[in-house]
Structure 1
Amino acid sequence: MGNGSRDDIVERSETLPFSEQDLNEDIPSTRKMPRRRLRDLNIVQNTNSEEVSTEQQTVVGSLSVPDTLDEPVEFQTENGGTRRGRGRTLLTDLYNLNSADRVKVTRNSHGQPVGQEARLLAGYLGIIARNANMLPINYESWHNMPDSNKNQALSNIKERFALEVSDAYIKKALGKKWRDNKSILKKEYFKKPISLEEKLQNVPPGMLRYQWEDAVRFWNSKKGEDRERVGTSSRQKQKFTHTAGSRSFACVAQATEASSGQKVGRLQLFDITHRKKDGTPMTPDAAEIMEKLKDKKAEYEATALTDSSVNFEDTDNRIINEVLGPERYGRVRFQGSGVNPTQYFGFTSHQYMPSGSQSQAEVQRLKDQIVQIQASTDEQISQLRAEVAAREAEAAAREAEQNRKYNELQLQLQSMMTMFQQFQNPPS
């Protein structure tokens, strides 16, 4: 995929105009978000910022979009019917915000954004992540995205939000939104049963053609297919998904604590975020996990009746660890993005990390993955070498044919010269 310079990206994108409305198209969803108005949010004055330029405003949003946040639309289904869902996320009120005002986004004790402002921020991050000029899709990964692009996006976000969360959190969240956007584009436009040439021509609305062609060629390559297999394999290991919708775990926990006046533990948060509206578990796997967690908690409570040394402060963590196994490196279950084991568990984090044998298994899995990638790379290199050799052989054959024709022409010319001389000087 393209890894050109930022100047090249800007130069090429300026010659390929696209509509701001296309930039603001949101991913269709059957979950309808409630309407938000800025008067219900925390607005503060920004005393340090400069005025936002007109050029920067038009990159991500338009001041003339319809006066609605989530416009309901109808989508065509595969069987020919229609379904209603959420249309574009426009955030009109946010674009109409005075240039000196900002939406203040607060954080919890773990550094995660919370409150209604957090959901507004998440929606805006999605719009930024779909901005083809600011965050091009023709990079193989978020790590390959130039820092200049990420910093430009961060600056744009800070023109509208007063953030208590860290820049690192925002960039990480942007990266996920960017990957999600690529995944949706791939599924809806690349995975169609059409030829490669048709896929190259099937440019999504709001996408720059050269970026789309770069992305399609990568997805169609051996390396792209290998990466997809690894991602699919990892995804299949996920047994259940949450039902929190656009709300983060941090927002769910804060809202529950505000209404109940009690702190929400991880067990309770898992139960809240993995049930449908009718109260039933999201999936049979989720139901099984809930039952195991419930039984294990009952065991701890029964033990506490006869053993006064049981520490209830750490019960949830121990139960989750026993039922679901140790935490993955850098992650804490049911806490969402931005929380790591050391931060959450403190000095006792080693209790919830994989054991030696599990660590070795994880290392072996990574080694196997590296071997797979290396084998794919070697195969591609061999293929390229074979193609180069074939081209060189073809060029050598053409050169030999040209030399043969040249020699034939030289012989013909010499023969004609001999005949001409004989004609000029006939024998006496």
Structure 2
Amino acid sequence: MEDRSWIQKERMSIEYVKGVETFIKFAITNSMVIDGKIRCPCEKCNNCLFQLIRDAIDHIISFGFLQNYTHWHYHGELVMPSQSGQVGPSHALKTRRLGRKQKFKVEVNKHGQPIGEKAQKFSSFIGKLARNPQVTPLTYHTWKELPQTYKDDVWNRVKEKFEGPGVKVTWVMKEHAKLWRCWRCNLRKLYKKHKALESCMKHCKVTIPEDQWRCLIQHFETTKSKEQSEKNKANRAMLKFPHNTGTKSFARLRAEKVAEGTPEPSRAEVFIMTRTSKKGNCQNQATGEAIAQINEAMSQLPEGIRDDPAPTDILSRVIGPDKYGQVHTYGMGVKPSEFFDEAPSRSELMVQNAVLREQLDDLHNKVDQVEANQAEKIRQLEASSKKVNELQVQINLLMDMIKNEEASGN
């Protein structure tokens, strides 16, 4: 790392100005630039606010650069494994004791989900990374905001400790994002309970830098964040069928049943297993009623017929269809296309819609043309009918003249 002693220099000195220029180049190259804005590391913004690059330069010159911000992790500088040495205060000791060339072997199922005895350790290690403020800073408020450099670092750390032919980066990123959001949710609960910053830092089991706490609390106090929190709380309250598996995934539960020598359980059977306690009790009345309906439907299955996953299987008929992109009782990482006919994506639907609109417009044009032709034929028929009537009148006049002449001749 280059010399950053310029941060302590006088703000109008040549060293300081050149240092600011170096920092700005680094930030533009390595961090997320949103609408021409970067996180401002001045004493006033404290890396919590985004400023236009020119305004960030003015702030750093006017208010000064954060004195202790010598490792620019908010701007894409990674914490190297050799520097960090651990995954936060609650680091995974058993993974640390491994040598550099030693790795845990992770087994995955056909859907890419971890199973076996190392699956829990695998997820736990990802959770430790999600709670490490140096690996996944809390100054970014959405997973999309988090720069790719941090995500790449998470994947590299995972590969250092675990290996397996089916371990996929997509599953690791989804798991990490989920656990990071859960961690932020827990910190929100801690803040609601203690309110004061000092109290939050005292009662938090993970050491989080004060500047990250301040940035996080500032975000919690925004109207948008409060509204989203209330919306999430309401959605959670609407959950009808909570499971009781704890940290054990549905994938591990299925794998254990297969290892016992039984066929892979159906979706309905997994639903019952994950919603019933050891004493056979359900968590709420809705779950009990659903399980009763499932048992009734399963008892009516013909002998030898399996309740394979399908949009019309027993579980779907009882609790309703799967949410878009999800498959009930299979957990994260499983796509509906692996079981059902693949539903078209939104872009494909838009293309189909455009084609149908074009065909509909074409049909409308043809109908208009037919109607116009029909109207023209009607006009021609009306004109012909008028001529026939005129001829008939002339014929009648002529007949009358002939009759008159014959009468006068007689």
Q: If the TM-score is normalised by the length of the shorter chain, which range does it land in?
A: 0.5 to 0.7
* Structure 1 counterpart of 2:130, one-letter code: A
Greater CA drift, 99-108 or 259-268: 259-268
- Establish whether residue 333 from structure 1 lines up as the match of residue 334 from structure 2: no
- 1:117: how far off? 1.0
Using the alignment, how far apart are the partners of 1:157 and 1:133 within structure 2?
A: 15
Alpha-carbon offset, residue 318 of structure 1? 1.5
2:83 counterpart residue number: 55
The Cα offsets for residues 368-400 of structure 1, whole Å up to 9 and x where unpaired, read as xxxxxxxxxxxxxxxxxxxxxxxxxxxxxxxxx
- Identity, % of aligned positions: 23
Kindly indicate whether the alpha-carbon contact (under 8 Å) linking 1:104 and 1:162 is maintained by their aligned counterparts in 2: yes
Alignment check: 8 A CA contact 2:267 2:309 kept: no
For residues 77-114 of structure 1, the C-alpha deviation after alignment (integer angstroms, 9 at most, x for no partner) is xxxxxxxxxxx5x5322211121111111211111111
Q: 2:319 aligns with which of 317, 320, 324?
A: 324
Deviation at 1:213, TM superposition (A): 1.0
1:242-274 CA-partner distances (Å, limit 9, x unpaired) = 121211100010011111332221111111111
Q: Secondary structure in 2 aligned to 1:202?
A: helix
Gap change, CA 1:278 and 1:202, over 3 Å in 2: same
State the alpha-carbon separation in 1 of the partners of residues 284 and 314 from structure 2. 21
CA shift in 2, pair 1:324/1:53, >3 Å: closer
Offset of residue 132 of structure 1: 0.4
Given candidates 332, 340, 343, the residue that maps to 2:338 is 343
Residue 202 of structure 1, CA deviation: 3.4
Partner of 2:250: 249
Contact 2:88–2:207 (8 Å) recurs in 1: no
The residue that corresponds to 1:173 in the other structure is: 175
Q: What is the distance in 1 between the residues matched to 2:328 and 2:309?
A: 15
Rounded Cα–Cα distance in structure 2 between residues aligned with 1:6 and 1:158: 30
- Shift in alpha-carbon separation, 1:150–1:7, aligned structure 2, 3 A: farther
Alpha carbons of structure 1 residues 312 and 338: separation in structure 2 relative to 1, 3 Å: closer
Q: Is contact 1:200-1:213 (8 Å) kept?
A: no
In the alignment, what sits opposite 1:202?
200
CA contact (8 A) 1:105 1:113 kept: yes
CA apart distance, 1:297:
2.5
Give 1:321 deviation, angstroms.
1.6
Q: Displacement, 1:170?
A: 0.2
Distance 1:331-1:187 versus aligned 2 partners, 3 A rule: same
Contact 1:6 1:146 in 2 (8 A): no
Q: Pick closer, same or farther for the CA change 1:338–1:151 going to 2, 3 Å.
A: same
Residue 100 of structure 1: SS of its match in structure 2?
A: coil
Deviation at 1:278, TM superposition (A): 2.1
Which AA in structure 1 matches 2:133? A
The structure whose Rg is larger is: 2
Q: Which amino acid aligns with 1:177?
A: L
The residue that corresponds to 1:131 in the other structure is 132
Which residue is 2:378 aligned to?
A: none
Question: Residue 122 of structure 2 corresponds to which residue in structure 1?
Answer: 121
Alpha-carbon separation, structure 2, partners of 1:12 and 1:261: 61
- 1:365-380 aligned within 5 A: none
Which amino acid is the alignment partner of residue 172 of structure 1? K
**Alpha-carbon distance in 2 for matches of 1:288, 1:165:** 38
Instruction: Render the CA deviation track for 1:11-66: whole Å, top value 9, x for unaligned.
Output: 9797599xxxxxxxxxxxxxxxxxxxxxxxxxxxxxxxxxx85214x14268xxxx
Size of the aligned set, in residue pairs, is 277
Alpha-carbon separation, structure 2, partners of 1:312 and 1:201: 53
Deviation for aligned residue 1:290: 0.5
| SS of residue matched to 2:294 | helix
Distance change in 2, residues 1:191/1:314 (3 Å): closer
Q: CA offset at residue 131 of structure 1?
A: 0.5
What's 1:400 paired with?
A: none
CA contact (8 A) 1:94 1:160 kept: yes
Structure 2, unpaired ranges of 5+: 1-32, 42-46, 48-64, 72-79, 350-410
Q: Distance in 2 between matches of 1:113 and 1:317?
A: 28
TM-score between the two structures when normalised by the length of structure 2: 0.61
Partner of 1:286: 287
- CA distance in 2: counterparts of 1:244 and 1:14, whole angstroms: 44
TM-score, with length taken from structure 1: 0.58
Kindly indicate whether the alpha-carbon contact (under 8 Å) linking 2:310 and 2:339 is maintained by their aligned counterparts in 1: no
1:233 equivalent in alignment to 2:234: yes
Inter-partner Cα distance in structure 1 for 2:283 and 2:168: 33
Mapped to 2, the partners of 1:6 and 1:162 lie a distance apart of 36
Listed one character per residue, the Cα deviations across residues 128-172 of structure 1 (whole Å, up to 9, x for unaligned) are: 000001101122211111111111111111110114221011011
Q: Within 2, Cα distance between the matches of 1:260 and 1:316?
A: 27
